[in-house]
Amino acid sequence: MSEKRFIGTRNAYGEFLKEIGKENPNVVALDADLSCSTQTCKFYDEYPERFFNIGISEQNLVGTAAGLAAYGKKPFISTFAVFASGRAWEPIRQSLCVPKLPVNIIATHGGVTVGADGGSHQMTEDFAIMRALPNMIVLCPADGYETKAMLRRLVEYNDGPAYVRLSRIKFPVIYDDNYKFEIGKSDTLRDGKDITIIAVGYMVHAALEAAEQLAVDGIDARVINMASLKPIDEEAIIKAARETRRIVTIEEHQIYGGLGSAVAQVVAENHPVPMRIMGVHDKFGLSGEADQLLEYHGLTSSGIVEKVKSLL
Amino acid sequence: MSSSVMLSPEKTKVSEIDKEEVLRLRKIARDLRIKIINMLAEAGSGHPGGSLSAIDIITTIYFHFMKIDPKNPKWPERDRFVLSKGHAAPALYSVLATLGFFDEKELMTLRKFPSKLQGHPDKLTTPGVDMSTGSLGQGLSVSTGMALGARLDKKDIRIFTVCSDGEHQSGMTWEAVLSAAKFKLDNMTVFIDNNGLQIDGRTDTIMPVMPLKEKYLAFNWNVYEVDGHDIEAIIEAAYKAIAHKGQPSVIICKTIKGKGVSFMEDQVSWHGVAPSMEEAAKAIEELKAMEIK
């Protein structure tokens, strides 16, 4: 096996912005004083006249992008997930979702893997509050290539806003340049008949590791990358419930209102089966290394193995 | 009637403003006041006070300044209008219907199910509405985005915004005030409907926002102060604002809430209550008797 490659989803975003800025003069980028961290500075470097730094004012970031989109531009706006989704939630509701304006909110530093900055900067409620909004699409890629494919798809999507959560840390590479992303579709990375592990973002990698560990014990686990949280791939979830009879979900998010809740809703309404929902249990984060924090929250491959075994 | 007026920024003196044009606009504003009262009485709910305080401003913007095509509401070259104080929707709807963006009969469906005319402006349902508003404090921010877009395309497109004095209690408004000055958005003209009242009482007691002039000057804006019911003064200030380069302009319009209807004027209680049919009849009688000169 070749050596694992790592690419940050936010680094892929920076690369994407450089490319799309050249291809599409209608694309503009906005940031709220975090352009080096979010990588929108890559866009600024190439197309300074189409980049707007709004300063530490996330509501205005969203309002300005709404105006640009209402005028006819294609804005990509970025800051940390906690500010992008939380601070600006009501302007997102009123000025993006209600008028269905095609603004892409690319929120970096989602989840607990933000690390040392601590709980104030670790957004673990964004899926819930973004999923609750009508007309909003909610996405979270599992690697750099999926990030690029997803963002390319969003350039063509003009029916409303989208929220994309990216991470601070680098992810192992799963896909390549040929990968096509479809809104509302999941990707089954490993087939299996005994149980399905549905994961999102960085947790997809823990799920793949867990499946390998389970295989050693003769347990055949299916792994689904549910990068499109809303709309969600109901067909794949129902199929998994029917064929594997048990489902474990895992996400760097509160256990309320995120991937687990979304999957449970589909399962409960269509084909009820036992489930385990793995995530952050109603608490805020702590400072530490990403790996230490994932361990602290039980969001590891061994944690998944334990949950899977509790269902068999 | 042509709604598309070529701007003449050099015409900046009162004496040069066509008196006939001012008279025409005053008559339109009076007729729109009647439409607003009728709509609200029929709807049984809504906001008369702030619709009547803003109507002279909105009339002047739409009937004198804006480059628009009612037959082609999404014409890319059009000027944009943002009613940041979205609860004055009846004022905007009466203007759009009169200009022919939709049938005047629709006005009587305001706030009813199903209607093109939602309680607050909705760009998806009403032809001619450039931005959905209703949650206060967001329109100025949206306007700066439109202004940035138009400037990027090097288009001669102006963004007209009407906001309230009360909206200056919202932090997001000030975020946008900073932003418009930073980006030197001289293609946007903001009108503040300074009627001094809000739902809970006098703005001065709920949360004072004055002095707005000094605040805007300190934030590096170009500022004018006018009587918001003096159409001639509004036109004059707007021409000056349009001619001014390198800064965004704001025209602080001193207005009277409920203007034109004696029993509604400067009354907090008429912020968000529709007139009964009897009250509407009395109001319309007054408006019809109003001398326009």
Q: How close is the nearest chain B Cα to the Cα of A24, in Å?
A: 14
Residue A284 host element (H or E): none
> A7-172 has which CATH code?
3.40.50.970
| CA atoms within a 13 Å half-sphere pointing along the CA-CB vector of B146 | 30
Question: How would you classify the pairing of strands A195-199 and A247-254?
Answer: parallel
CB neighbour burial string for A2-18, b if at least 16 within 10 angstroms, e if fewer: eeeeebbbbbbbbbbbe
Contact A94 B80 (CB under 8 A): no
CB neighbour class for B65 (10 Å; exposed up to 12, middle 13-18, buried from 19) = buried
CB contact (8 A) between residue B141 and residue A70: no
Contact yes or no for B148 and A91 at CB 8 A: no
A159 close to B (CB below 8 A):
no
Domains and CATH numbers, chain B: 17-289 (3.40.50.970)
**Residues A96 and A161 sit within 8 Å (Cβ to Cβ):** yes
Beta-carbon pairs below 8 A across chains A and B: 112
Q: By the 8 A CB rule, do B233 and B226 touch? A: yes
Contact A281, A252 (CB under 8 A): no
Q: What does the buried/exposed string (b/e) look like for B123-135 if buried means 16 or more CB atoms within 10 Å of the residue's CB?
A: beebbbbbbbbbb
Higher pLDDT, B96 or B2: B96
- Paired with A280 in beta bridges are A254
Rounded CA-CA distance A284/A177 in Å is 36
Residue B15 scores a pLDDT above 60 = no
Q: Which of B80, B123, B144 lies closest to A64 in CB terms?
A: B144
Q: Per the omega criterion (within 30 degrees of 0), is the bond before A75 cis?
A: no
Bridge-based pairing of strands A221-225 and A187-190 is antiparallel
CB B178 within 8 A of CB B147: no
Give the range among A195-199, A304-308, B4-8, B153-157 with minimum mean pLDDT. Answer: B4-8
Q: How far is B278 from chain A (nearest CA, A)?
A: 36
Where helices occur in chain B by DSSP H, the ranges are: 19-43, 48-60, 89-99, 139-152, 171-182, 203-206, 212-218, 231-243, 277-289
C-alpha B233: how far from its chain's center?
A: 15
Domain with CATH 3.40.50.920 in chain A: 187-311
DSSP 3-state of A277: strand
**Of residues A105 and B12, more confidently modeled:** A105
Q: What is the pLDDT of residue B3?
A: 40
One-letter amino acid at A74 equals K
Contact A262, A237 (CB under 8 A): no
Nearest to A234 by CA among A193, A197, A268: A268
Q: Report pLDDT for B11.
A: 46
- At B13 the pLDDT is 53
Q: What number of H helices and E strands is found in chain B?
A: 9, 7
3-class DSSP assignment, residue B8: coil
* Interface test mutation site (partner A, options B118, B132, B161, B219, max chain A beta carbons within 10 A): B132
A28 and chain B: CB distance < 8 Å anywhere? yes
Pick the residue from chain B with its C-alpha nearest to A93: B135
* Element housing B197 (H / E): strand B197-198
For residue B4, the model assigns a pLDDT of 41
Q: Does B143 touch chain A (CB under 8 A)?
A: yes
Classify residue B84 as exposed, middle or buried by CB count within 10 Å of its CB (0-12, 13-18, 19+): buried
Q: Is the pLDDT of residue B9 over 60?
A: no
Q: Does A50 touch chain B (CB under 8 A)?
A: yes
Residue A273 sits at the vertex; the CA angle it makes with A267 and A276, to the nearest 5 degrees, is: 85
Q: Tell me which residue has tokens 């008279």.
A: B23
- Distance spanning both ends of chain B, measured CA to CA: 21
Token pair, residue A30, equals: 């906005």
Chain A residues inside the 8 Å CB shell of B135:
90-91, 93-95
d(CA B33, CA B36): 5
Which chain B residue has its CA at the smallest distance from A65's CA? Answer: B145
Asked if B123 contacts B92 with a C-beta cutoff of 8 angstroms, the reply is no
- For A98-137, how does the pLDDT look when each residue is reduced to its tens digit (9 = 90+)? 999 999 999 999 999 999 999 999 999 999 999 999 999 9
Strands lying side by side in the sheet with A275-280: A187-190, A221-225, A195-199, A247-254, A275-280
Q: Which of A84, A68, A88, A91 is nearest to A34 (CA)?
A: A84
Residues A247 and A240: their CA atoms lie apart, in Å, by 8
Contact B271, B255 (CB under 8 A): no
Quote the pLDDT of residue A291: 97
**pLDDT of B139 over the 60 cut:** yes
B272 DSSP 8-state letter = S
**pLDDT for residue B293:** 85
Confidence check: pLDDT of B8 > 50: no
Decide if A60 and B122 are in contact by the 8 Å CB cutoff: no
8 Å CB contact of B144 and A90: no
**CB of B145 less than 8 A from some CB of A:** yes
Quick one: average pLDDT of B83-112? 98
Of A55, A66, A98, the CB nearest to B145: A66
Report the residue of chain B nearest A100, measured CA to CA. Answer: B124
pLDDT (mean) for B61-75: 98
Nearest Cβ partner for A70 among B146, B179, B182: B146
Q: What is the pLDDT of residue B6?
A: 43
A69 CA: distance to closest CA in chain B (Å)? 8
Residue B35 phi, psi dihedral angles, 5° rounding:
-60, -40
Amino acid at A119: G
In chain A, residues under CATH classification 3.40.50.970 are 7-172
Tell me B258's DSSP state: T
State the average pLDDT over residues B282-290: 97
CA distance B100 to chain A (A): 22
Q: How high does pLDDT run on average in chain B?
A: 95
- Residue B98: CB atoms within 10 A of its CB come to 20
Chain B touched by A135 (CB under 8 Å)? no
A-chain residue closest to B182, CA distance: A54
Average pLDDT, chain A: 98
Residue to mutate among B82, B136, B138, with most A CBs inside 10 A, is B138
Q: What is the CATH number of domain A187-311?
A: 3.40.50.920
